[in-house]
Structure 1
């Protein structure tokens, strides 16, 4: 047998030591992400899709576990997915999400029990009021009770208000009347008594919608029904983040004895001709609306970083009132804003890019805690 020179053993040992040190550094970096930086301030969350819940991508899973200590399902707990037929529920992916959150010690926010959008087709076909009421009650009781003790919080009612603060003319209002919101919280409290119960909406930092949200909350409270907090979704736009209105809203909701969550945070960089997050709104496709299909200028990323930094300075100022900040997705490639309100665009609203690498905004947020 040929004798192996000593220098080969030495070289191999050198590389083994180098790899070990590199791995140690990587693990150290992974273990000191956003969730650790803000651990004494508020929870840091992300919305997860089915692939992430099922851990299909190891790199993505490592990123999630290094950065976040709270999760929200992007879609799998919405009624059209979890309750596809009158007498049938599909708990396959929600159960996996519960197991994933328990295994990794993540706070799980259920999203959402009552929402006018993404309803199963059968529910929209119900004509009789008593039958629709039965669907409403059975849905809340079945879903909320199944996950009682396993879910930290529920978005009980989602997006029930118009921009002027009046109640949206949804199928729930049409069939059940204006008290359906109070009844939803009553049923959720009974089915899942140890779960925090929230009302969630977009643009509810704007004065008129905020006033409607306050009125909604006061009505639930006056009925003696528990409501623990309000979620401000936080779908904001580059250079147009309404800092003044956000702060006023945090203070106003806190005055009602409520916890405040930022529940679906992203900062969009692409143009559109309206504000808000109404999934029913659309814009016609046009190349001018997709200016960064081949890549985004660093100047835009730097502006986004400044917006995120100023937002988190505000959140830290009111950390005694804010309990959670959740991003609506993990990376840019996952974001719903690639397909709404214009399909097929290339958007860049989150802290991590399509290669799962941190963007300037991430470094700004970490820098705030150094």
Structure 2
């Protein structure tokens, strides 16, 4: 996942795009809900449920509130929603002892009214530590700050949240033998902070599934091989200490610039997770493109093929419980083209018609299903047939 600055930019970019679309009154946006509902075949959530899984997507409260067509698409396709920002510590408590829960309350209420689950993402993450907490943890480490945050959110949303990403992205290979990221929690409490967080979370979510979520585990490159190895070591250590860890989240930010996924390594990794008795959730699936100058057909085909390759491996594991994409539509993808990418493809396509967006989510910018959608649907159906 991106850093905290990118998270903040993501929210503002979404607002600008939605507002521009609403003002322009584009036909695609206005009719998007109809186009999604009119497609042939069952929705992704139905296909997932038939295979014993859930299907979800990351959302913001603003998008659900301001964009009725997007909201309809989410309700049609998803049995679970993941708050992109609203549950993170920096959003919940930007000022010490001043809780800001309105956005998270909105998402939770949409879930309650419509019979959805919320995926509890994410509690401890280096990219969303409030500035006051960074300072206080650095000056005088006090676990009470973390306990107060957990106690404020976990019971409040426990009726709709089953899975909690208690610790997000704890690893950063290349700096320590144990691979732990040098974040505010490690500096304040040492490596035991992960164990302590999991035990603390169990107090406030006695029936919840407590998860550790990690990225960069899919490709045959040294840093990702190291991360797979270090992640397994961390999990084995926690399990040996009877730490209440129920499962792991695989972010699955696929990247066509890295080649094809390393299927053998992913399969072996999942087998070891299964042997440890843990469940697995694909938490943030999307695809970063490599060639924006190609035709839409070729671009969408490349995205769909990589998605299919990945899900065919992952869904073979009986440990997997669900899939969530990081966004449902390209309209709200955090995978914005960089300034260099935009400059490289000047004149190739018209940004306003959606071609200039990264096309790495199931629905395009007008909420029409793409080939990635079909790839997800087919692999979910295959899981159903194999049960």
**What range is the shorter-chain TM-score in?**
0.7 to 0.9
2:60/2:107 contact within 8 Å kept: no
C-alpha deviation, 1:339, in angstroms: 6.1
Alignment of 1:247 with 2:267, yes or no, is yes
Question: Closer, same or farther in 2 for the Cα pair 1:262/1:221, shift >3 Å?
Answer: same
The 5-angstrom pairing of residues 280-295 of structure 1 reads 291-292=292-293
Aligned to 2:298: 299
**Which structure carries more relative contact order (alpha carbon 8 Å, separation 6+)?**
2
Q: Give yes or no for contact 1:31–1:66 (8 Å, CA) kept in 2.
A: no
Name 1:259's counterpart in structure 2. 279
Could you say what secondary structure the match of 2:335 adopts?
helix
Deviations 1:186-219 (A, max 9, x none): 1100011111110001024543212221222233
Which of the two has higher C-alpha Rg?
1
Q: Is 2:305 the partner of 1:269?
A: no
Aligned pairs (5 A) from 1:24-43 = 29=39, 32-41=42-51, 42-43=53-54
Q: C-alpha offsets along residues 68-87 of structure 1, whole Å, 9 cap, x if unaligned?
A: 11111111111111111111
- Indicate the residue corresponding to 1:50 in structure 2: 61
Indicate how the Cα distance of structure 1 residues 24 and 241 shifts in structure 2: closer, same or farther if over 3 A, else same.
closer
Deviation of 1:257 (Å): 0.7
| Residue 239 (structure 2) aligns with | 221
Separation (CA, whole Å) in 2 of partners of 1:46 and 1:314: 20
Distance 2:120 2:376 in 1: 26
The Cα offsets for residues 53-105 of structure 1, whole Å up to 9 and x where unpaired, read as: 43x22211121111111111111111111111111111101111111111111
Alignment coverage as a number of residue pairs: 325
Shift of 1:224: 2.5
Given the alignment, which residue of 323, 332, 335 partners 2:333?
335
CA distance in 2, matches of 1:359, 1:220: 41
Unaligned stretches of 5+ residues in structure 2: 1-32, 219-223, 343-355, 383-387
The aligned counterpart of 1:90 is 100
Gaps of 5+ in 1: 1-22, 272-290
User: TM-score normalized by structure 2?
Assistant: 0.77
Q: Does 1:365 align with 2:376?
A: yes
Structure 1 length normalisation: TM-score? 0.80
Q: 1:192 aligns with which of 178, 202, 205?
A: 205
Question: CA separation of 1:138/1:308 partners in 2, compared to 1, >3 Å: closer, same or farther?
Answer: same
Shift of 1:115: 0.7
Q: Secondary structure at the match of 1:125?
A: helix
- 1:180 corresponds to which of 171, 193, 218: 193
Residue 179 (structure 1) shift: 0.2
Q: What's the counterpart of residue 85 of structure 2?
A: 75
Moved more, 221-230 or 125-134: 125-134
CA deviations on 1:267-300 (whole Å, 9 max, x unpaired) are 11047xxxxxxxxxxxxxxxxxxx45xx853112
Residue 173 (structure 1) shift = 0.5
Separation (CA, whole Å) in 1 of partners of 2:278 and 2:325: 21
For the residues of structure 2 that align with 1:150 and 1:191, how far apart are their CA atoms? 14
Q: 1:204 to 1:306 in 2, by over 3 A?
A: closer
Aligned match of 1:287: none
**Following the alignment from structure 2 to structure 1, what is the Cα–Cα distance between the partners of residues 98 and 120?**
19
Q: CA shift at 1:51, angstroms?
A: 2.2
Aligned to 1:103: 113
* Cα distance between partner residues in 2 of 1:221 and 1:246: 21
Tell me, in whole angstroms, the C-alpha distance in 2 between the residues paired with 1:29 and 1:300.
Answer: 21
CA shift for structure 1 position 252: 1.5
Superposed CA deviations along residues 232-290 of structure 1, whole A, max 9, x for unmatched, are 1001112432322221221111111100111100111047xxxxxxxxxxxxxxxxxxx
Q: 1:135 Cα shift?
A: 1.5
Structure 1 residues 29 and 221 mapped into 2: Cα distance closer, same or farther (>3 Å)? same
**3-state DSSP of counterpart to 1:247:** helix
Partner of 1:281: none
Deviations 1:298-328 (A, max 9, x none): 112112212222222223322x211011100
For residue 340 of structure 1, report the CA deviation from its aligned partner.
Answer: 6.8
User: By how many angstroms is 1:109 displaced?
Assistant: 0.9
Q: Is the Cα contact below 8 Å between 1:114 and 1:158 reproduced in 2?
A: yes
Question: Offset of 1:223 from its aligned partner?
Answer: 2.8
